[in-house]
Structure 1
């Protein structure tokens, strides 16, 4: 679409997690280091939280690709599963051969056997669960029981949970307090600050093949930060739309006008405008009510 116009090899602002675009700003690098240190220390449970769109899935994939050959990874992107279904998903990821109509005992025994085989081969197994806030409580408890599988030396299975902040509230419930106590490493991934967001935009353009001068002017960056709050997914959406608008006009620089137009066309921006309108209406109602009460006193 606009790749040739801006001298790009590929689209720089796709919303599909692509590890080649991973941006190692201080907070993202710290989160990645936390994960690597934790699994190399053999910790049983690790938790990464963050709001929608901050890049948890991309961090998860970058983490898995960074691990060395001594690790075997299992990835479950949608853990909204009952306990038995979770066990089957793990068995599938670990390439466990199962008999038809296997019972719960044999299922767990087969997983344990596979983990022991991998441990004897010098492998460590890491299970990564994305969108972990969606897990039912009984499934979270089954997850805790999986970490009881161990040798005399170390855990046979390490678990990393990636989830929205609702995961923290769920883990505070009395029914799964034992699991919460086993989480030894935790990191909260926040949005980018304005400077990091500017580097983020330049980084993605560079990875996509851009070699020209400054494409997003300072006013465009300011408008981008105001509209996105530094949330990478929103930055990607707004940047992509702003590039489309500039291309349509035959321009080679993105201005604040392009970004604001992109924001008006984006759901998050519309929600923000609606919210501000709601606040204004609420304020008018409050003032009107106060006047009415004053009149009838």
Structure 2
């Protein structure tokens, strides 16, 4: 099935934004810094994250992936502690130092760099953001024993700039906003996914690709949905090519109220 989400990292389409995000995430991990990766819905943030983390040496890194930031401060800290093999303490005042010690121990005693990844990070509260920042205060603030990646929508960057989060803002070593694909990249993206599914011939007309790019604004997830719906529309009327009419049918079906 073309345009699916279950692709192995090596099969992903590597357009410019994807490559840049992967490279920057890799640098953030190697330098054990705090990184903020933002982008519109469907821009490919999590896909780039998955590709970057898959290339790491599993014997030297421990990935702690937190997909749901709505669990509160205790939920975030408790998940970190649990992932590192400990039982979270009950009181909040002791949970932060426990999480910080567990992260430091993972590196000092096991030789593994922990990577805390918080997806949908734009949903984090100020208290949650500040609690993660507190974990970086290690060895009298001279170093951070882990890498941290906040991944979310553009509102995340604006929130971090608020005065209440100045201490966190000053500790961020990486900021990257994923741009949409260009028209040429969208065409290449569609061809790439069709080739993975076994079709190397021309299946989408230039007009159909242009309409898919315009409607999706170059964001991969929206392009996936439109392309798949256009394939179904073409199949329904026995067309051998996905033309502009089939693409327009897909646009109408997906964007209709």
Cα pair 1:125 1:157 within 8 Å, conserved: yes
> Does residue 47 of the first structure (1) align with residue 43 of the second (2)?
no
- Return closer, same or farther for 1:112/1:184 CA change in 2, 3 Å cut-off: closer
- Aligned mates of 2:247, 2:5 — CA distance in 1: 17
Query: Which residue pairs with 1:92 in the alignment?
Result: 82
> Equivalent residues in 2 for 1:169-248 (5 A)?
169-208=158-197, 210-248=198-236
With the length of structure 2 as denominator, give the TM-score of the two structures: 0.91
Supply the RMSD in Å over aligned alpha carbons. Answer: 2.1
2:54 counterpart SS class: helix
- Return closer, same or farther for 1:21/1:80 CA change in 2, 3 Å cut-off: farther
1:215 counterpart SS class: coil
With the length of structure 1 as denominator, give the TM-score of the two structures: 0.79
2:99 counterpart SS class: helix
- Aligned mates of 2:227, 2:62 — CA distance in 1: 36
- Aligned mates of 1:79, 1:152 — CA distance in 2: 26
Cα pair 2:113 2:146 within 8 Å, conserved: yes
Query: Which of 16, 33, 49 pairs up with 1:26?
Result: 16
Deviations 1:66-85 (A, max 9, x none): 22221111001121232112
Cα pair 1:96 1:110 within 8 Å, conserved: no
> Does residue 12 of the first structure (1) align with residue 16 of the second (2)?
no
Q: Flag structure 1 segments of 5+ consecutive residues without an equivalent.
A: 1-10, 272-297
- Aligned mates of 2:166, 2:97 — CA distance in 1: 26
Report the count of equivalent residues. Answer: 255
Query: Which residue pairs with 1:116 in the alignment?
Result: 104
- Return closer, same or farther for 1:17/1:94 CA change in 2, 3 Å cut-off: farther
> Does residue 263 of the first structure (1) align with residue 251 of the second (2)?
yes
1:12 counterpart SS class: coil
State the 1:61 CA deviation: 1.7
Deviations 1:87-131 (A, max 9, x none): 1122233232346xx323443344334323321221111101111
> Does residue 133 of the first structure (1) align with residue 122 of the second (2)?
yes
Q: Flag structure 2 segments of 5+ consecutive residues without an equivalent.
A: none
Cα pair 2:32 2:148 within 8 Å, conserved: no
1:53 counterpart SS class: coil
- Aligned mates of 2:44, 2:9 — CA distance in 1: 11
